A and B are shown apart, each in its own frame.
Chain A
Amino acid sequence: MSFLWAVFKGIFSVTFVQKAITQGIPLLFGATGEIVTEKSGNLNLGTPGIMYMGAIGGLAGAFLYETGTEAPNGLIGILCAILGSLLFSLAGALIYSVLTVTLRANQNVTGLALTTFGVGLGNFLGGSFSKITGTAGQITVYTTGQTFRTRIPFLSDHLGIVGDLLFSYGFLTYLAIVIALLASWFLTRTRIGLNLRAVGENAAAADAASINVTRYKYLATCIGGMISGLGGLYFVMEYLGGTWQNNGFGDRGWLAVALVIFALWKPARAIWGSILFGGLYILFAYVPLSQSMQEIFKMLPYVVTILVLVISSLRNKKENQPPAGLGLPYFREER
């Protein structure tokens, strides 16, 4: 009983929720981006790589700025970081799009190659950037990192527990939620969103309805990739405070892919899903078990995803299935 009580007490604490959200936000960025991508029928297994690219791109952008000025300004640092992040993840997504859409390479294989490349690039630059650019030391951006971590003034300090729970995060946290909500609105309420879903469901039908399938696939993959990349940026800036850790981002990219399944391809669901996943990811630390048993606990998010996958395949409801054209190439004159 005392065991359960200890777990209970741990979970229903402000710090647990805060940490769950902190862990969840990169997943939310990643999953939202991947949902937008998958809605175009592209199963981008390169997302984990793209998130690494977004991370190192942001860090590099801020680093170049901070090492280039005497007294770096945090806001400009943020701009440089975001710009760098978007550029890098865009490059990753473009590689994927050119290969799978224009050159019709297999999506899974291309995605996995992109992940190999992206993770490698992140770690490579993370470990060698200062060497390459001829500056000294670790690739660290203290000012920018701290600015990213700035909490919402007033609200976070004066509302007690509400302030701690809702307003104690950097702006990227809120951006993640806003992007997810926007994506959700965009997919269901706008013409472009409708067209995009049509492309992922049945590219031939979308084509016949005069939708430019290629353009939609490119745009969705690139915009999706850039959203995912912000998850990496969040990790290096807000979580690590503006520095690089070799393989620090770990397998969170795959967890984001898992979250897409958990959310049944609905960005709004991914919001609470990401917090749940974040919670599951750190639950082990709140369970009074031996260190080795805690490792077993870390399996939870993956086990839950498998359960969702199995259950949704059992229930077989049309609206909850992956986009029908997911993973399939489209070539108009194919006979």
Chain B
Amino acid sequence: MSENAIELKGICKYFGKVTANDNISLTVKKGEILSLLGENGSGKTTLMNMLSGIYFPDKGQILVDGEEVTIRSPKDAYRLGIGMIHQHFKLIDIFTAAENIILGQEGQSQIINLKAVTADIEKLIHRYGFQLDLNKKIYDMSVSEKQTVEIVKMLYRGANLLILDEPTAVLTPQETEHLFGVLRNMKQDGKAIIIITHKLHEVLSISDRVSILRKGAYIGTVETKDATEQSLTEMMVGEKVSLNIDRPTPHNTRKCLEVKHLTCINKYGVKAVDNVSFTALGGEILGIAGIAGSGQKELLEAIAGLQEGDGSILFTDPATGEEEELLGKDPLEIKKMGVSLAFVPEDRLGMGLVGDMGMPGNMMIRSYRNGKSALLEQRGPRQLSEKVKEELEVVTPSISYPVRRLSGGNVQKVLVGREISNSPKLLMTAYAVRGLDINTSYAIYHLLNEQKEKGVAVVYVGEDLDVLLELSDRILVLCGGRVSGILDARTATKEAIGLLMTKHGEEN
């Protein structure tokens, strides 16, 4: 028996021309919690997917309990006692918790004895202190309940190594605390745990050791007790990149958008936006913070004319000072009213762009109607494509290359490039830098600041509090669809925002 639960040696993985993992080696001991730290796109999830049998490594060795193994499928992974909880839960919506937990399991009998199974699982639940109703259908569950189902599923299958991919991204602090408690119980039980995250305070509070990846490469492993947020950040980001994002002082701000008592019911029938009121000023960046799914998506979509709601959304034309109601209008009507609004949605290829088309086809998404002819105007979009390609340094073989095949950063440049090309008065971005490398992220911040200086009202929905604090002028915090606070970003602290993000149900 080896004291190492798992050992990776020289793992490489390529996707086409992209190197996702380059020669990575690391170990996890039994009864240890290892944090795998790295920025978005540093290759953490890809690496872990090779342990769970989703991907197969192109090079390298995997040792479990000191023996070399081949993991070709999730089944192999289970047999080796490896269980992974993915960021997007792999659960069957119309099944109950119990059915999901026994899924894919070989029992003694082919016939399912739900009573016996439930009793078995209940034991496990008590042992580690979970809270879960086994007869509840997944589609009725909250995110943290679903996560619990996933973890119990892995334990029920006898996992000795548990991999959690950003488990706290969708949890409230209380839920996170509870999860960490459960994890510590499991550690004491001798289980090995890998937790993927990029929240440093969590890394410091939960893990024994930290391994760091950067751009697909292995950087190193440190004992948590010897690490600080500062030292980890340096390892994660690499050579000292100026963390200071430019923030020009706003001048000549004027009211651009006023949202009053906005309430939206989303497509699942949930009140996603609840009595939200705020003002966005031209010439400033308004940051919006909140745990994922706190109503950010619906709020932006309501302003863009893609989501119905009650209340009022008034747009003030900077030239005339006239106010226009946006709520209840579709994007076309808003455009026809002469409201110049740009929106960079979260789902770039699923909402903002058409993946199979090249740049010109994507440039004309908002403008293809121009002109009276039934035929498309082709020249303008081509010229715009060339311009965006050049100015934003989009890397593409040719402008007619399908944007689906571009890298994440280049996809985002195409989208942002188009949105700012028609000189908007209001620019909304949702997770504009998600999945982008540092340089591209800074390029995007720079573009946003340029727009701000032009007098555009910029609304920036983000997930990284540090960025929000450095980029925004004011920060609006959403919690459970409500505004839990609007702070001055120059004086606000991370703790204050963190607190507001989790201020569930309390009065505004």
In the complex they form, whether A and B have CB atoms below 8 Å apart is answered with yes
Measured in the bound complex, the distance between the Cα atoms of B103 and A190 in whole Å is 11
- Pair B90/A208 contact, Cβ less than 8 Å: yes
Identify B112's interface contact among A190, A198, A205, A209, CB under 8 A: A190
CA separation between A207 and B86, bound complex, in Å? 13
Q: Chain A nearest CB: distance from B149 CB in Å?
A: 11
* A324: nearest chain-B partner, CB-CB: B93
Q: Which residue of the partner chain, among A189, A211, A318, contacts B93 with CB atoms under 8 Å?
A: A318
Contacting pair A318 B111 (CB below 8 A): no
- Assembled-state Cα–Cα distance A206/B75 (Å): 11
Total A-B Cβ pairs within 8 A: 81
A34 to B383, alpha carbons, bound, how many Å? 52
Place the interface of chain A in its size category: 20 to 34
A191 and B110 contact, Cβ closer than 8 Å, known pairs A202-B93, A211-B104, A212-B73: yes
State the CA gap A210–B54 with chains docked (Å): 10
Q: Choose among A190, A202, A324 the residue that contacts B110 (Cβ–Cβ < 8 A).
A: A190
A180 to B89, CA, bound (A): 33
Q: Which of A197, A201, A209, A333 has the most CB of B within 10 A?
A: A209
Residues of B within 8 A of A190 (CB): 110-112
Question: Is B227 interfacial (CB-CB < 8 Å)?
Answer: no
Indicate if the CB atoms of B111 and A209 lie closer than 8 Å: no
**Count of chain B residues with a beta carbon within 8 Å of a chain A beta carbon:** 33
Contact of B105 among A191, A202, A319 (CB under 8 A): A191
Q: B74 to A208, Cβ gap below 8 A?
A: yes
- B-side contacts of A201, CB under 8 Å: 92-95
Whether B130 sits at the interface, judged by CB under 8 Å, is no
Given A189-B111, A210-B78: A333 and B104 interface contact (C-beta under 8 Å): no
| CA A198 to CA B95, docked complex, whole Å | 8
- Asked if A293 is at the interface of the complex by the 8 Å CB criterion, the answer is no
Asked whether A195 is an interface residue with its Cβ less than 8 Å from the other chain, the reply is yes
Binary per-residue interface labels of chain B (65-85) against chain A in the complex, 1 for a CB within 8 Å, 0 otherwise: 000000001110110000010
Question: Contacts of B105 on A, CB cut-off 8 Å?
Answer: 191
In the complex, the answer to whether A194 meets B112 with C-beta atoms within 8 Å is yes
- The residue in B104, B106, B137 that gathers the most chain A C-beta atoms within 10 A of its C-beta is B104
**Chain B positions within 8 Å of A205 at CB level:** 89-92, 103
A192 at the interface (CB under 8 A from B): yes
CA distance A37 to B90 in the complex (A): 22
Q: Is the interface of A mostly helix, strand, loop or mixed?
A: helix
Residue in B103, B110, B139 whose CB lies within 8 Å of A211:
B103
Whether A332 contacts B92 in the complex (CB less than 8 A), given A191-B110, A209-B74, comes out as no
Q: Which residues from chain A contact B91 at a C-beta distance below 8 Å?
A: 202, 205
Whether B197 sits at the interface, judged by CB under 8 Å, is no
Bound complex: CA A201 to CA B92 (Å):
7
B505: Cβ under 8 A from any A Cβ: no
Within A300-335, the residues touching B (CB, 8 Å) are 318-319, 324, 332-333, 335
Question: With an 8 A cutoff between CB atoms, is B107 at the interface?
Answer: yes
Q: Give the contacting residue for A194; candidates B54, B74, B86, B103; CB below 8 A.
A: B103
**In this assembly, does A7 line the interface, its C-beta being within 8 Å of a C-beta of chain B?**
no
Report the nearest B residue to A209, measured CB to CB: B104
Q: A194-B112, A209-B104, A333-B55 in contact; A202/B75 too (CB < 8 A)? A: no
Shortest Cβ distance from A218 into chain B, in angstroms? Answer: 16
For B55, the chain A residues whose CB sits under 8 A away are 333
Task: Please give me the residue from chain A that is nearest to B139 by CB atom.
Answer: A318
Q: Using Cβ atoms and an 8 Å threshold, which residues of chain B touch A191?
A: 102, 105-107, 110-112
Is there contact, CB below 8 Å, between B103 and A209?
yes
Residues of A within 8 Å of B102, CB to CB, are 191, 194
A287 interfacial by beta-carbon distance below 8 Å = no
Given contacts A191-B106, A194-B102, contact A208 B54 (CB under 8 A): yes
- The 10 A-B residue pairs whose C-beta atoms are closest, nearest first, are A209-B104, A210-B75, A205-B90, A208-B90, A210-B74, A209-B103, A211-B104, A210-B104, A210-B78, A201-B92
Known: A191-B102, A212-B73; 7 extra A-B contacts, CB below 8 A, are: A202-B93, A207-B90, A208-B52, A208-B84, A211-B104, A324-B94, A333-B56
Binding site for A on B (CB under 8 A): 15, 52-56, 73-75, 77-78, 84, 86, 89-95, 99, 102-107, 110-112, 137, 139, 153
21 contacts between A and B (CB under 8 A): A190-B110, A191-B112, A194-B95, A194-B112, A195-B103, A197-B92, A198-B92, A198-B95, A198-B104, A201-B92, A201-B94, A202-B90, A202-B91, A202-B92, A205-B89, A205-B92, A205-B103, A206-B92, A208-B86, A209-B74, A210-B78
